[in-house]
Structure 1
Amino acid sequence: MNTTIFSYDWSYLLPEFTVLGFATLVSLLDLFLGKRISKTALAWIALLGVVLAGVFVVGNMQALTEPIQYMNDMMRVDDYGNAFKLLFLTGVAFTILISMGYMQQGEVKDTGEYYYLILSGLLGAMVMASSADLITLFVGLELLSLSSYILVGLRKKSLNSNEAAFKYVVSGSLATAFTLFGMSYVYGLTGTTNLYQITERLAEAYSTGFGFMVLLSFVFLIAGLAFKISAAPNHMWAPDVYQGAPTPIASFLTVVSKAAGFALILRVLFTAYRGVMDQQMQASVFEELLWFISIIAAISMIIGNTMAMRQTNIKRMMAYSGIAQAGYLLVPFAAISQFFFQQTVFYLFAYLLASFGAFAIIMVVTQDQKTEDLKAFAGLYHRAPLTAVAMTIFMLSLAGLPVSAGFFGKFFIIWSSILHANYWLAGIMIGTSIISYYYYFGVIRQMYMRTGDTEAKLRLPIGVGVVVLVCSLGTLVFGAVPDWGIQFIQAQLDPNFTFADMFTPGK
């Protein structure tokens, strides 16, 4: 039977169509109405699109009994993709809420472009999560990347923003070249771009004398994708970009872009290379591939935490913290377990709550004090006690201390590494986490033990207040009862789905 474009049930792609439609609507309203439409109205329209897309994702989760394939399996809607889409949508909703207060400062003049670029970046991330083909994966990656490049440089009169955008584009282009080079090797060895066909053919290529080429393609792909998650060796762009980008965009890059990078790594590396990791080759190839990831994770944790200790700029400190967090998130990749998927999603969710809450407060404090130095937080407890308490919660969660969602996120990863006898990597994770207490507690020390230049009360904009409240409550709730989060991931995101099913065609 001939399959046409009208043969598919496109309702399962309503989340992507909704984001695309609202991005187009915002751009058209900005084009034709210009100054006659307020900045706040565009923000609310963009937020409505994100919420509506989220409703459709939840609907897909309830209705989905097996993965839905489109266009010869170039796109697939499954529980794995839905899990990451919820993370993306939540992160972008927080970004828009934070941006409402930020845009009032007038640093970014192009309001329409700002919001529809955020939505187009979101669309790219969602495409990455649902792709089962190298072509659509790369299209989603570039849509997210190009949107991010422009968003970083939207403060056109800021030299820091211009420099950040330039460095981001140059570094991103090099990373893209590495990624494409690795993909070209994969295509040359297999003759296909479909990930599930690659799974079988890459194993054949390895067993017929092309083992070195297979491993080389893996190395190039990992090196290129490390840029998207700001892990070593492609991490040096992060501090300059975070410092120069508008603060809401820095939070967007911290969580949404990083989560999209991990979605891509999961789709490509642990689907395409699954065939190489069969029982006959597991002792040699599997350990070689995971050893390479372990080295990247260890270097990222060490560099991120040690460099963060030296920072006096709060946004640069958070950038190096993000590099370390990328290392933590790579640890489960080095010791694949039955609960690998749940560990990764739970930690990403905990990281989302802590990072967005922290950046929301950072934005307000730095704008109020006209500086991004750590000293801007001096005396914050006396000016805004509840805000200081919320910031303390976020710092404790990022540090991985009880009772916070970040603590259990790290605990699950460390415990899994120990159970799989990956002691040296677990030890590095514990040691670098202890090192991170120095700079996280440095922020807390400024808020409670230092005197600021003013005693004037500091009030949070409504949108920022909502984000801080939701993130702080979420961090505490999932820190007190983490089982709720794990059970939700198991029962709602993958009721009949195991991690191994993600790598099996038709599962």
Structure 2
Amino acid sequence: MEHTLLDFNLRVMAPELIIVSAAALLVILELLLKESTSRNWIGWLGLLAVIAAGVSVGMEFGHPPYQILNDSYRVDSFSLAFKALLLGGGGLTILFSLAGGKNEQPKPKGEYYILLLAALLGGMMMVSSADLLALYVGLELLSLSSYILVGINKRDRHSNEAAWKYVVLGGVSSAFLLYGMSFLYGLTGATNLFAIQGKMVEMVATQDQAYIYVSLFLMMVGFGFKIATAPFHTWTPDVYQGSPTPVTIFLAVVSKAAAFALVARVLLIAYLPLVSTGAWNEIVSWLLMILAACSMIIGNTAALRQTNAKRLLAYSSIAQAGYVLVPLSTLGFVGFDLFPSLFYYLCAYLFMTAGAFAVADCIAKSCKNDQISAFAGLSRRSPWLAGVMTIFLISLAGFPVTAGFFGKFYLLTSAVGSNQAWLAAAMILTTIVSYYYYFEFIRQMYFRAPDLAAPRVSVSWAAWAVLAIGVTGTLALGLFPDLLLHELGKIDWHSAFAQAQNAIRQ
């Protein structure tokens, strides 16, 4: 029996419908407004839409998995958790964007907020899709919007260069991803991940698996670019440095989290039959572990030589991507129980990364200098801002009583529990290396005399709001980690990788 879209309960798509409706409304309002009219209130409408979508996501928790269009679009605990994370990161991005004044970049034009909502919608589609076509549509909606956002400051040479590099390398990575998908479709004759899984069960038992591995390697190249892991990381420092800081926060948090959800969906559904043959532990897990180790080593060592604050934090995010890959790479040894630790670290990463980039932006705008040296004497010029940045830095470094410490501890236990001592050693050693460049900020803030000509650091109310949320989240997750882990433990992560039974509205 054929079903149309109206046969399904569209209430489960309320978050996506809220975002797309808000974006469409803002497009119309932008066209009707005069050029001289301030667009800041468009940002406020966008923020309200994100909050409304977040409330809608929260109301869906506790319900059984639901799928529409032959299981190509799913609403389950996995997708809801990631949507909540994406909406949180998108809300912080919009809130920090509202801090920009008339002469600060990015200018508060309506299309900027519309593109942010479009990119956010693409990420939400990615985490709910269980079909290669739907996944790719969501990915490209996120990617194309991000390309424009990176280069939205048309008169900024660095922004133009960053956008050009992002478009070229992003197009190449999409080509690899599509090529890998075409192999999957050619092998199985299906685009639905569960249909691919069913065909794959037959193939791994009866046929040569060489083409399966070709599709896997091609897609891993595309995945590596999207989550900014070494050796596919070369675009990250230039793009993060050249982008407006709110866009950098969006790329570092929202885009990366959506990409991790995409990787988990594809690998743990389409390629799950490789577990039964032992090929998962022999090939897939090792491939992910090597990417994780390379990201941790290259990201942390390259950061040692950086003098630009945003560029240093960009290399730090490459290393953080390696840490987040650890539980995903050891799932074949330990199982789905590692998802709570993975999601916990992504939540911690959201607060501490957004906060660190926000402080760096405040310093750069006030001092007209985006180098680490601009932090000199910050403890005397703005002690509150120095204290806030210190909290973010020690959390990124993994010091106790912060979210970063417990996050890395849980990731480390996953490596130890899977008997991958070398991976655990790589985590520990690279974390120790990271202390040097994280504490370079602290050395400048507390042990260097301020420049007498340096102006007073100005922090807008919106920036303070973002910093307050970041500090609260970082300390709360560090002081009371069990509160979030307890809730994450209640989530049925397995349901995301099994077909839903109740699909049609009665």
Matches within 5 A, 1:109-258: 109=107, 111-258=109-256
The answer as to whether partners of 2:100 and 2:108 remain within 8 angstroms in 1 is no
The answer as to whether partners of 1:110 and 1:154 remain within 8 angstroms in 2 is no
Alpha-carbon shift at residue 95 of structure 1 (Å): 0.4
Question: Deviation above 6 Å: which 4+ runs of structure 1?
Answer: none
**Cα distance in 1, alignment partners of residues 111 and 246 from structure 2:** 15
Alpha-carbon shift at residue 236 of structure 1 (Å): 0.2
Over the residues paired in the alignment, what is the CA RMSD in angstroms? 1.4
Structure 1 gap ranges (5+): none
Cα deviation per residue 1:376-422 (whole Å; 9 max; x = unaligned)? 11111112111111100101111111110011000001012112111
Q: Secondary structure of the residue that 2:370 maps to in structure 1?
A: coil
**Cα distance in 2, alignment partners of residues 103 and 16 from structure 1:** 30
Verify: 1:357 aligned to 2:351, yes or no.
Answer: no
The answer as to whether partners of 1:199 and 1:276 remain within 8 angstroms in 2 is no
**Cα distance in 1, alignment partners of residues 280 and 21 from structure 2:** 45
Q: Which residue of 2 aligns with 1:480?
A: 479
The answer as to whether partners of 2:98 and 2:108 remain within 8 angstroms in 1 is no
- Partner amino acid for 1:341? F
Q: Which residue of 2 aligns with 1:329?
A: 324
- Partner amino acid for 1:331? V
- Partner amino acid for 2:22? F
Q: Secondary structure of the residue that 1:460 maps to in structure 2?
A: coil
Alpha-carbon shift at residue 502 of structure 1 (Å): 2.4
- Partner amino acid for 2:281? F
Residue among 386, 398, 401 paired with 2:396: 398
Q: Secondary structure of the residue that 1:155 maps to in structure 2?
A: coil
The answer as to whether partners of 2:97 and 2:106 remain within 8 angstroms in 1 is no
Q: Secondary structure of the residue that 1:403 maps to in structure 2?
A: coil
Matches within 5 A, 1:398-477: 398-454=396-452, 457-477=456-476
The answer as to whether partners of 1:378 and 1:451 remain within 8 angstroms in 2 is yes
Alpha-carbon shift at residue 36 of structure 1 (Å): 5.1
**Cα distance in 2, alignment partners of residues 148 and 83 from structure 1:** 22
Alpha-carbon shift at residue 340 of structure 1 (Å): 1.5
Cα deviation per residue 1:331-378 (whole Å; 9 max; x = unaligned)? 112211342211111000000000111111111110001011001111
**Cα distance in 1, alignment partners of residues 298 and 113 from structure 2:** 34
Residue among 301, 304, 320 paired with 1:306: 301
Alpha-carbon shift at residue 197 of structure 1 (Å): 1.1
**Cα distance in 1, alignment partners of residues 457 and 232 from structure 2:** 38
Alpha-carbon shift at residue 480 of structure 1 (Å): 1.2
**Cα distance in 1, alignment partners of residues 410 and 439 from structure 2:** 23
**Cα distance in 1, alignment partners of residues 495 and 208 from structure 2:** 27
Q: Secondary structure of the residue that 1:393 maps to in structure 2?
A: helix
Alpha-carbon shift at residue 5 of structure 1 (Å): 2.2
The answer as to whether partners of 1:102 and 1:363 remain within 8 angstroms in 2 is no
Q: TM-score, normalised by structure 1?
A: 0.96
Alpha-carbon shift at residue 30 of structure 1 (Å): 1.3
**Cα distance in 2, alignment partners of residues 210 and 102 from structure 1:** 57
- Partner amino acid for 1:484? L
Q: Secondary structure of the residue that 1:76 maps to in structure 2?
A: strand
Structure 2 gap ranges (5+): 502-506
Aligned length: 497
Alpha-carbon shift at residue 103 of structure 1 (Å): 4.8
Alpha-carbon shift at residue 102 of structure 1 (Å): 2.5
**Cα distance in 1, alignment partners of residues 292 and 344 from structure 2:** 18
Q: Which residue of 2 aligns with 1:372?
A: 370
Q: 1:55 to 1:232 in 2, by over 3 A?
A: same
Q: Which residue of 1 aligns with 2:504?
A: none
Residue among 97, 102, 124 paired with 2:100: 102
Q: Secondary structure of the residue that 1:199 maps to in structure 2?
A: helix
Q: TM-score, normalised by structure 2?
A: 0.96
